[in-house]
């Protein structure tokens, strides 16, 4: 890692605790055998630039961000410069086990909600010269985190994630923090803070938690600063920290501004005694039957 390259901290933003960008993949090349049948080549030219190609296509050059979830697991995120609609590829490269997960997200596909994002997920393996890629094992969807409350501290902001089922989550902000009032007031405009999620086990103690601000976008729309962002959290429960990336749109003075950055946080698992937290675990989801 190069300590000269740090994500900017602006007024206690989510990226205050983001670690330095990771340049360790520079010069490395990977062939990714994906289970949907479309294999990819990634070539990390240097610490900022890579080329990627899907089997049968010409390589394309992109600028990427990289952060580490543990000593051998990398979160790599880039936008497709030539895409007609803003498109993000995020890869979790698990070099310890030779496995990979891809998150694919596009802004603007929905005919009624121009900022809405619906991510898709695909699993695969990293091809090596001395081993044949089999059909298993793979990273996969999990309910390991169900039933947990985790408080994440991003520096200027703290959140409490309520992992109450395997495809949704809820969020609240500690009421003792003054800055939390603004966020809790925004949530009060919704029937609930439920948003669709994916929980993916990468290895023991390391999970990819992916959420998309979908219901907020449909109900509140431009009344908030952030539109339908999708966030990927690579959560390390052995060290209780996370690295992640956010991809979406933010509004400033009525103007839509592309958002794509990495972030970080330190966490602790809560044993809730507050009634309002227990209620968040058991309340019905108003967005599903």
CA–CA distance, 244 with 238 (Å, rounded to integer): 17
Supply the pLDDT for residue 188. Answer: 75
For residue range 104-133, what is the model confidence (pLDDT) as tens digits?
999 999 999 999 998 999 999 999 887 778
Three-state DSSP at 62 gives strand
The domain locations on the chain are: 29-282
Q: What is the pLDDT of residue 182?
A: 59
Q: What is the pLDDT of residue 167?
A: 96
pLDDT value of position 177: 59
In the chain, the largest separation of any two C-alpha atoms, in whole Å, equals 56
Residues of the chain with pLDDT below 50 are: 1-12, 178
pLDDT at 183: 65
Distance between CA atoms of residues 196 and 37, nearest Å = 26
Quote the pLDDT of residue 11: 41
pLDDT reported for residue 233: 98
Given a contact cutoff of 8 angstroms between Cβ atoms, the answer to whether 214 and 195 are in contact is yes
């Amino acid at each position: 890692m190069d300590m000269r390259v740090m994500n900017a901290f602006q007024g206690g933003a989510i990226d205050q605790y983001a670690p330095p960008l990771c340049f360790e993949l520079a010069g490395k090349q990977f062939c990714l055998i994906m289970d949907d049948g479309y294999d990819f080549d990634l070539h990390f030219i240097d610490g900022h630039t890579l080329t990627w190609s899907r089997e049968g296509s010409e390589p394309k050059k992109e600028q990427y961000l990289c952060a580490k979830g543990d000593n051998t697991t990398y979160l790599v995120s880039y936008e497709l410069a030539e895409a007609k609609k803003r498109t993000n590829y995020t890869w979790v490269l698990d070099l310890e086990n030779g496995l990979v997960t891809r998150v694919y997200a596009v802004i603007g596909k929905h005919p009624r909600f121009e900022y809405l994002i619906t991510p898709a997920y695909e699993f695969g393996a990293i091809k090596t010269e001395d081993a044949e890629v089999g059909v298993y094992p793979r990273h996969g969807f999990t309910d390991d985190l169900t039933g947990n409350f985790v408080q994440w501290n991003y520096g200027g902001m703290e959140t409490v994630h309520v992992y109450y089922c395997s495809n949704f989550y809820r969020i609240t902000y500690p009421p003792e923090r003054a800055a939390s009032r603004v966020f809790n007031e925004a949530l009060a405009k919704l029937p609930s803070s439920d948003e669709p999620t994916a929980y993916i086990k990468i290895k023991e103690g390391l999970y990819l938690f992916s959420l998309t601000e979908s219901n907020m976008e449909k109900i509140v729309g431009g009344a908030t600063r952030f539109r339908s962002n999708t966030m990927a959290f690579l959560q390390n429960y052995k060290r209780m920290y996370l690295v992640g990336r956010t991809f979406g749109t933010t509004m400033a003075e009525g103007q839509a501004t592309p958002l794509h950055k990495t972030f970080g946080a330190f966490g602790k698992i809560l044993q809730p005694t507050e009634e309002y937290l227990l209620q968040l675990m058991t309340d019905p989801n108003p967005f599903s039957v």
